[in-house]
A = this chain, B = another copy of it.
Amino acid sequence: MSGKLFGVGLGPGDPELMTLKAHRLITSAKVVAYPAPDSGTSFARSIADGLIGNEAREIPIIVPMRVDRFPAKEIYDKASADIAEVLESGLDVVTLCEGDPFFFGSFMYLFERLADRFEVEIVPGVTSLTTCAAQLGRPLTSRNDVLTIIPGPLPDNEIRRKVEEAQAVAIMKVGRHLARLKALLSEMGLLDRAGYVERASLPEQKVHRLVDLEAETAPYFSMILIYKGDEAWTLPPSFSS
């Protein structure tokens, strides 16, 4: 009998924001897979650091971090073949996923290659979306608000239309698009309605009103949240640093 493939959400980065289920599955896993850069440490693995058993087999999925284009077909073909071999041997594979496996995650590239042949279980995780809202000290949505989640790499005109339509907006994957997005939101008169968070829940986290942010580029793990109420938004007193 084949093993089962787990896609396990680790949450946004603070190991304490992992679920009890993720914790249980990782600590008891015999085989663990995770995305890793071609140099440096794997963010996913670092969240689970100390939980992976010494005897566990590790399958790093090396994804070059300097390109912006996905999917890297060959990488996921190869990783899926490696994982399939383990599953066929009867062992389960626990795949570590930053945030939530099905929320803008790369686990989908394994899922689409393996779900027709193997049993798969997805363990949802805390997303960066609600973690950033928590850090900004303002509810993401309330009552009957429409919330739109927009990837930052989309072109200005598309982002503009989506932002105009929504009550609450999250722009993900800000990264090198920061300056362009700031200019666009400034043009739209929304700069003082926006909050910025990078590396939410990690020790190096940064939280700013977007209007105060001087940087022109941001790390990949950064987000802008926009609240289109009547009033300019400020960090609550207990959150300002």
Contact = CB atoms under 8 A, between A and B. Distances in A.
Given A115-B137, A134-B122, A16 B21 contact: yes
Q: How many copies does the complex hold?
A: 2
Interface residues of A, number: 65
A137 B120 contact: yes
B17 A16 contact: no
Interface in A112-138: 115-116, 118-120, 122-127, 129-131, 133-135, 137-138
Interface stretch (A58-66, A150-158, A188-196, A202-210): A150-158
Contacts of A124: 12, 17, 126-127, 130-131, 133-134
Contacts of A162: 146, 165
A92 interface: no
Interface stretch (A73-81, A99-107, A178-186, A214-222): A99-107
A3 interface: no
Contacts of A9: 126, 130
B19 A17 contact: yes
Contacts of A154: 144, 146
B144 A130 contact: no
A159 to B, nearest CB: 9
A201 to B, nearest CB: 8
Contacts of A122: 133-135, 137
A80 to B, nearest CB: 15
A108 interface: yes
Contacts of A133: 102-103, 122, 124
Interface string A18-32: 111101100000000
A35 interface: no
Nearest to A120: B238
Nearest to A142: B108
A15 interface: yes
Given A20-B23, A142-B108, A143-B70, A125 B126 contact: yes
A50 interface: no
A13 to B, nearest CB: 11
B70 A139 contact: no
A237 interface: yes
Contacts of A134: 101-102, 122-124
